[in-house]
């Protein structure tokens, strides 16, 4: 499964946030594709459409789709024998699909700041510089050879050299690889390098309880927003402490608490949603009387591979997919009515699944 790794300097609120994630956590047993590991938190992806489908179909049970967060600090702490901490840290970042960078944007005399003062940009730069230096080493190992081959009129190498040169220049300006505009061919050529700074990043500006209730836009947050904009990254404002309190509440209590403090959506839900879109993920549904269920797929996935997410047999024996869009189904009011109106399509192997598709797969066993 795809995972977002949580990073940040010490004392910025990572553990508090990760605790909120595991508290809110979904039963791992329901999600055979998720990793079972104390450093991985599995959360359900909030989706209002699932409620609506449940009302329509009245199934025996409803299962949301899930998403993983990995606590990189936790792994690093537990595995620091032998190899240096720095290398462990980098190798774990290499394995995640996106990065959630927690930044301290709250003041609290009782919580020591590692650098002595609250300065979110300095904090971000401390970590980003380490990642840039690691990537610079990777690029330096390749660029000489690419240049040599490019001079010998190797077309692929010329593309690679061009891409690496642009990236190197960004590094020299202390900018990450994700800030560099690359065309499709260039992207392909450098994909195999698995650069750390090319991974999508979401900055979580961790504000105080009072800060969040004031709308969350303090001067620290503003600075993080400006910084993120320059490198094509996104920002979410959270209060890790409040999130850990919200995570202990269930359904109705949770709603009441959010209304009481005047917040529309829990920060954690926003985080999940943002990570989801950052990774180019989308949701399709299966809707039978036994079970209504949401499934995560990568945008661009074709029907047989989407079926394979449910079970490998579904992909191997794929015949057709009966597809109706969520909107059409809800408008029709029932699957039967949607069929009558001609809204249910039969799609084949080349069909690219869309977000919100309600699908019934037909397959040979």
Q: How far is the CB of 171 from ligand GDP (least distance, A)?
A: 27
- Residue 14 in the binding site for ligand GDP (CB under 6 A): yes
Task: Pick the closer one to ligand GDP by CB: 93 or 281.
Answer: 93
Nearer to ligand GDP among residue 106 and residue 361 (C-beta) = 106
Query: Euclidean distance between the first and final Cα of the chain, in Å?
Result: 25
**Cα–Cα distance between 194 and 192 in angstroms, integer?**
5
Is position 15 annotated in a ligand binding site? yes
* Residue 126 binds ligand GDP (CB under 6 A): no
CB of 325 to ligand GDP, least distance (A): 40
CB-based burial, 36-50: b 16+ in 10 Å, e otherwise: eeebbbbbbbbbebb
Q: What is the C-alpha separation between 169 and 273, in angstroms, rounded?
A: 33
Asked whether residue 14 is marked as a ligand-binding residue, the answer is: yes
DSSP 194-235: --GGGS-EEEEEE--HHHHHTTS--HHHHHHHHHHHHTT-EE
The answer on whether 118 is annotated among ligand-binding residues is: no
Edge-to-edge strand order for the sheet containing 98-104?
40-44, 66-71, 3-7, 98-104, 201-206, 234-238
Q: How far is CA 40 from CA 31, 46, 256, 354, 358, in A?
A: 13, 18, 29, 28, 29
In the complex with ligand GDP, the residue whose CB is nearer, 99 or 139, is 99
Q: Does the annotation list 183 as a binding residue?
A: no
Distance CA 309, CA 293 (A): 12
Residue window 182-211: x/- pattern of binding to ligand GDP, with contact defined by CB under 6 A: ------------------------x-xx--
Q: Does 22 bind ligand GDP (CB under 6 A)?
A: no
Report residue 250 as tokens. Answer: 């269930």
> What is the footprint of ligand GDP within residues 238-267 (CB under 6 A)?
239-241
Q: Which of 1, 15, 222, 305 binds ligand GDP (CB under 6 A)?
A: 15
Q: Which stretch binds ligand GDP (CB under 6 A): 24-32, 85-93, 103-111, 280-288?
A: 103-111
364 marked as part of a ligand binding site: no
| Mask for 224-243, x = binds ligand GDP (CB under 6 A) | ---------------xxx--
User: Considering the complex, what minimum distance in angstroms separates the CB of residue 243 from ligand GDP?
Assistant: 8
Assess 108 for contact with ligand GDP (CB under 6 A).
yes
CB of residue 248 vs ligand GDP: minimum separation in angstroms?
A: 15
332: its two tokens: 């029709």
10 binds ligand GDP (CB under 6 A): yes
Residue whose CB is less far from ligand GDP, 108 or 226:
108
Under the binding rule (CB under 6 A), the answer on residue 271 touching ligand GDP is no
Among 31, 69, 89, 106, binds ligand GDP (CB under 6 A): 106
Give the residue ranges of DSSP H helices in the chain. Answer: 14-23, 48-57, 72-78, 85-95, 120-151, 155-172, 184-191, 209-213, 219-230, 240-246, 251-261, 267-278, 303-310, 312-316, 326-332, 335-340
**Is 216 a binder of ligand GDP (CB under 6 A)?**
no
CB of 8 to ligand GDP, least distance (A): 5
13 vs 176, which CB is nearer to ligand GDP?
13
Taking each helix axis as running N to C, give the angle between helix 120-151 and helix 85-95, from 0 to 180 degrees, rounded to the nearest 10. 70
**Is 348 part of any known ligand binding site?**
no
In 3D space, the residue among 91, 80, 82, 46 whose CA is nearest the CA of residue 64 turns out to be: 46
- What count of Cα atoms within 13 Å lies in the side-chain half-sphere of residue 225? 9
**Which residue from 36, 85, 111, 121 is in contact with ligand GDP, where contact means CB under 6 A?**
111
Q: CB of residue 122 vs ligand GDP: minimum separation in angstroms?
A: 16
Residues that bind ligand GDP (CB under 6 A): 8, 10-16, 106, 108, 111, 206, 208-209, 239-241
């Amino acid at each position: 499964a795809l995972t977002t790794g949580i990073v940040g300097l010490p004392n910025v609120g990572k553990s508090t946030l990760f605790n909120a994630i595991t508290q809110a956590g979904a039963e791992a047993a329901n999600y055979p594709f998720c990793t079972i590991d104390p450093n991985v938190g599995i959360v359900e992806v909030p989706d209002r459409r699932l409620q609506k489908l449940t009302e329509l179909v009245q199934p025996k049970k409803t299962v949301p789709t899930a998403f993983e967060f990995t606590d990189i600090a936790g792994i690093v702490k537990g595995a620091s024998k032998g190899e240096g901490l720095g290398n462990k840290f980098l190798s774990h970042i290499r394995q995640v699909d996106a990065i959630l960078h927690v930044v301290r944007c709250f003041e609290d005399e009782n919580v020591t700041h590692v650098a002595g003062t609250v300065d979110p940009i300095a904090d971000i730069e401390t970590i980003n510089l380490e990642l840039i230096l690691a990537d610079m080493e990777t690029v330096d190992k390749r660029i000489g050879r690419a240049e040599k081959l490019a001079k010998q009129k190797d077309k692929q190498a010329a593309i690679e050299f061009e891409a690496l040169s642009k990236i190197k220049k960004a590094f020299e300006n202390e900018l990450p690889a994700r800030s560099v505009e690359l065309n499709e061919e260039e992207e392909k050529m450098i994909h195999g390098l698995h650069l750390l700074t090319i991974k999508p990043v979401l900055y979580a500006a961790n504000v105080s309880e009072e800060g969040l209730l004031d709308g969350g836009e303090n001067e620290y947050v503003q600075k993080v927003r400006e910084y993120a904009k320059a490198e094509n990254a996104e920002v979410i404002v959270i209060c890790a402490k409040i999130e850990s309190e919200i995570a202990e509440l269930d359904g109705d209590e949770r709603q009441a608490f959010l209304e009481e403090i005047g917040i529309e959506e829990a920060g954690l839900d926003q985080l999940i949603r943002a990570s989801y879109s950052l990774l180019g993920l989308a949701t399709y549904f299966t809707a039978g009387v036994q079970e209504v269920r949401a499934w995560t797929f990568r945008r661009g996935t074709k029907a047989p591979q989407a079926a394979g997410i449910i079970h490998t047999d579904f992909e191997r024996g794929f015949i057709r997919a009966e597809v109706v869009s969520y909107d059409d189904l809800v408008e029709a009011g029932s699957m039967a009515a949607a069929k009558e109106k001609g809204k249910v399509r039969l799609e084949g192997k080349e069909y690219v699944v869309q977000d919100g598709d309600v699908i019934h797969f037909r397959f040979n066993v």
